[in-house]
Amino acid sequence: MIFRQLFDSTSGTYTYLIASRQGGEALIIDPVLEKVDRYLQLVRELDLKLVKAVDTHLHADHITGLGALRDRTHCITVMGEQTAADVVSMRVAEGDRVSIEGLSLDVLYTPGHTDDSYSFLTGGRVFTGDTLLIRGTGRTDFQNGDPRQQYDSIFNKLLKLPEDTLVYPAHDYKGDTVSTIGEEKRFNPRLKVGSVDEYVDLMNNLNLPNPKMMDVAVPANIHVGLHQDEIAAKGWAVSAVEAMALSGRADVAIVDLREKAEREKHGAIPGALHAPYPELRENIGAGGMLHELALATGKRIVFYCAFGERSAMAVEAAQAAGLISACHIEGGIDAWKRANGPLVGHGTARQT
Ligand SMILES: [Fe+2]
Over the stretch 198-244, which tens digit does the pLDDT of each residue have?
999 999 999 888 888 888 899 989 987 767 888 999 999 999 999 99
- Separation of alpha carbons 333 and 302, rounded Å: 12
pTM of the model: 0.93
The residues whose Cβ lies within 5 A of ligand 1, an ion, are 130
What are the residues whose beta carbons fall under 8 Å from the beta carbon of 11, sequence distance 6 or more?
Answer: 32, 61, 62, 171, 213
Q: In angstroms, what is the span from residue 221 Cα to ligand 1's centroid? A: 12
- Statement: residue 352 has pLDDT above 90: no
- CA 349 to ligand 1 centroid distance, Å: 31
The domain segmentation of the chain, as residue ranges, is 2-222, 228-338
What is the 130 CA–ligand 1 centroid distance (Å)?
A: 5
Architecture, CATH, for domain 2-222: 4-Layer Sandwich (3.60)
Distance 280 CA to ligand 1 centre (A): 34
Distance (angstroms) between ligand 1 centre and the Cα of 215 equals 14
Instruction: Give me ligand 1 centre to Cα 304, in Å.
Output: 32
pLDDT, tens only, 274-290: 999 999 999 999 999 99
27 CB contacts (<8 Å, ≥6 apart)? 17, 18, 19, 50, 51, 52, 53, 54, 98, 100, 105
Q: How far is the centre of ligand 1, averaged over its atoms, from the C-alpha of 180 (Å)?
A: 20
pLDDT tens sequence across 88-142: 999 999 999 999 999 999 999 999 999 999 999 999 999 999 999 999 999 999 8
Q: CA distances (Å), 275 to each of 8, 63, 254, 259, 304, in order? A: 37, 32, 10, 9, 10
Task: Report which residue type is found at 23.
Answer: G
Is the CATH number 3.40.50.920 carried by domain 228-338? no
